[in-house]
Amino acid sequence: MSSDVPEPVWIARLEQMARRADEIAAQMNEPEVAANRARMVKLAREHGQLKKTVKPYRDYRGVIDQINESNEILADASADAELRELAESELPELSSRREKLLNTLQENLVTGNESSVRSIILEIRAGTGGTEAALFARDLLDMYTAYAARKGFKTEILSLSSAELDSVKEAIVNITGDEVYLHYRFEGGGHRVQRVPKTESQGRIHTSAATVAVYPEPEEVQIEINWDKDVIEHVSRAGGPGGQNVNKVSSAIKLEHRSTGITVSMRDDKSQHKNRAKARRILLSRVFELHQREQQEKIASERKSMVGSGDRSQRIRTYNFPQDRCTDHRIGKDAFGLERILGGEFDEFLGELRDRDLKLRLESL
C-alpha cells in the first residue's frame, strides 16, 4: 500500500504479522481444526499474541489513510474552501495519533511475546563475600518479593538454601501476574553491595556480590519434553536433618536434560512427588531460556547482549550503603534511599532501562 507519509522500515514486519493473524483466524474457522483441541489452543494463543500488535497496526493504517486524504484535499486547488480548512485543522491531531501509535507499535514489536509472559522463575545466588554475600542475597530476595507484593503479583518459593544469620545461599522463586516478565526482565546479572557487614568488628566497608537470573516460565505446550526419553531422573535420600523420613524415604530428585546437559536438583520437600513437580518446572524454564537465548543470538549475533539478558558476569547495579546510593551501571543512573529501594521501590530505574532496551532492539531490526 502506497503512502505519502514516510514509514520506518520495520513497518513491513507488522504487515507480515497482520497477514499471519488473518491466516490463523481463517484456520480456526475450519471444522477439522476446530475439532482438534490441542491445535485450537496453540492457534488461539498465537492469535492472541499477534492481536496485541496487529490491532494498533490497523489503527495506524487507518490514520495514515486519513492523513493522506487530508493532504490530497490540501493539494487540490479546486477543492471546496471549507473542506480544505477542515482537512488542515485535522492534520495536527492525526499526526499526533500517528506518532503515539508508532511508539506503541515499536514497543510491541520488540516485546510482544514478553508482554504475554505471566510467570517467571527468579534465581538469586550469593557470590563472592562469604556470609555478607549471603546476607545481601537475602536482601535481594526480600526486595523482589516486596516489589511483587506492591504490584499484586503472586510469589512462591520453590527452593531456598539458608545459611547463618538468616542469610541465603540460593533462592529460586516463582512470580506470577500480568506482564510480570516486563517488570523483572532487567534484573538479571551481577549485583554488588558496599557496606559494613554485621560480622565486621572493625567497622570496615566490604564489597560483596550476588547474582540474579530471570527466566520466563513456559507453558508446557511451548517446550515439549518427553520426561521418559529426554530426561534422566536420579532419586536419592535427602540429606541434612529430618528424622526418620530422611533416612527411609528417597525424596530428593535430580533431573538431567539429555540434549542440553541442564540439571536441576530438588530436595526441599519431604514428598518425592512435590520435589519432582518443582524440578520439572525449573527444568522447563531453563531449557526454554536456553532456546530463547540461542534464537536471539542467531537473530542479533552482531549486537552486544541487550539489557537484562541474565549474563551472570555482568555487574549491573551497586548498592552503596555509606552513601545511601544505588547505581545502575547500564544507564549510569543514581538513586538515593537504599531502605526504600531494598523495600521494593526500584521503579525509577525501569523506565530508562526500558527505553535503552527498546533502542538497542530497534537497531537490530
The pLDDT profile of the chain, 365 residues, written as one tens digit per residue, is 344 557 787 888 899 999 999 999 999 999 888 888 878 888 888 888 788 889 999 999 999 999 999 999 988 888 888 888 898 999 999 999 999 998 888 877 777 677 778 899 999 999 888 889 999 999 999 999 999 999 999 999 999 998 787 899 999 999 999 889 999 999 998 999 999 887 776 778 889 999 998 888 876 546 778 898 899 998 887 654 444 444 456 788 999 999 889 999 988 888 888 899 999 989 988 888 887 777 666 544 433 333 333 333 458 999 999 999 999 999 999 999 999 999 999 999 998 998 888 888 777 66
pLDDT of residue 220: 54
- CATH number, domain with residue 239: 3.30.160.20
User: Where does a domain end: 115, 148, 169?
Assistant: 115
Indicate whether 223 belongs to any domain.
Answer: no
pLDDT of residue 303: 33
Q: Does residue 61 sit in the same domain as residue 174?
A: no
Angle, alpha carbons 155-158-162 (nearest 5°): 105
pLDDT of residue 130: 87
Q: Does residue 18 sit in the same domain as residue 108?
A: yes
Q: Supply 6's cell numbers.
A: 514516510
Indicate whether 49 belongs to any domain.
Answer: yes
- The amino acid present at 134, given as its one-letter code, is A
Q: Does residue 80 sit in the same domain as residue 202?
A: no
Q: Does residue 92 sit in the same domain as residue 63?
A: yes
- The amino acid present at 57, given as its one-letter code, is Y
What is the C-alpha separation between 158 and 83, in angstroms, rounded? 65
Indicate whether 317 belongs to any domain.
Answer: yes
What is the C-alpha separation between 176 and 156, in angstroms, rounded? 9
pLDDT of residue 296: 61
Q: Does residue 96 sit in the same domain as residue 56?
A: yes
User: Where does a domain end: 115, 137, 172?
Assistant: 115
- CATH number, domain with residue 201: 3.30.70.1660
pLDDT of residue 11: 87
pLDDT of residue 25: 92
Q: Does residue 241 sit in the same domain as residue 322?
A: no
pLDDT of residue 92: 92
pLDDT of residue 246: 44
- Burial track 91-123 (b if 16+ CB lie within 10 A, e otherwise): eeebeebbeebbebbbbbbbbbeebbbbbbbbb
Q: Are 169 and 204 in contact (CB under 8 A)?
A: no
pLDDT of residue 306: 30
Q: Are 159 and 178 in contact (CB under 8 A)?
A: no
Indicate whether 335 belongs to any domain.
Answer: yes
Taking each helix axis from N to C end, the angle separating 37-75 and 11-28, rounded to the nearest 10 degrees, works out to 130
Kindly report, residue by residue over 143-170, the tens digit of the pLDDT: 999 999 999 999 999 999 987 878 999 9
The domain tally of the chain equals 3
pLDDT of residue 239: 59
| 3-state secondary structure labels for all residues of the chain | CCCCCCCCCCHHHHHHHHHHHHHHHHHHCCHHHHCCHHHHHHHHHHHHHHHHHHHHHHHHHHHHHHHHHHHHHHHCCCCCHHHHHHHHHHHHHHHHHHHHHHHHHHHHHHHHHHHCCCEEEEEEEECCCHHHHHHHHHHHHHHHHHHHHHHCCEEEEEEEEECHHHCEEEEEEEEECCCHHHHHCCCCEEEEEEECCCCCCCCCCEEEEEEEEEEECCCCCCCCCCCCCCEEEEEECCCCCCCHHHHHCCCEEEEEECCCCCEEEECCCCCHHHHHHHHHHHHHHHHHHHHHHHHHHHHCCCCCCCCCCCCCCCEEEEEECCCCEEEECCCCEEEECHHHHHCCCCHHHHHHHHHHHHHHHHHCC
Q: Does residue 145 sit in the same domain as residue 279?
A: no
Indicate whether 1 belongs to any domain.
Answer: no
Indicate whether 20 belongs to any domain.
Answer: yes
pLDDT of residue 249: 61
Strand partners, 211: 125, 190
pLDDT of residue 360: 81
User: Where does a domain end: 245, 265, 298?
Assistant: 298
For residue 310, give the nearest of 176, 106, 121, 115 by alpha carbon: 121
Indicate whether 2 belongs to any domain.
Answer: no
Q: Does residue 198 sit in the same domain as residue 315?
A: yes
Q: Does residue 136 sit in the same domain as residue 165?
A: yes
Indicate whether 5 belongs to any domain.
Answer: no
Q: Does residue 97 sit in the same domain as residue 177?
A: no
Q: What range defines the domain where residue 56 resides?
A: 11-115
- The amino acid present at 25, given as its one-letter code, is A
Task: Enter the pTM of the model.
Answer: 0.66
Q: Does residue 240 sit in the same domain as residue 170?
A: no
Q: Does residue 17 sit in the same domain as residue 105?
A: yes
pLDDT of residue 211: 92
Angle, alpha carbons 23-26-31 (nearest 5°): 140
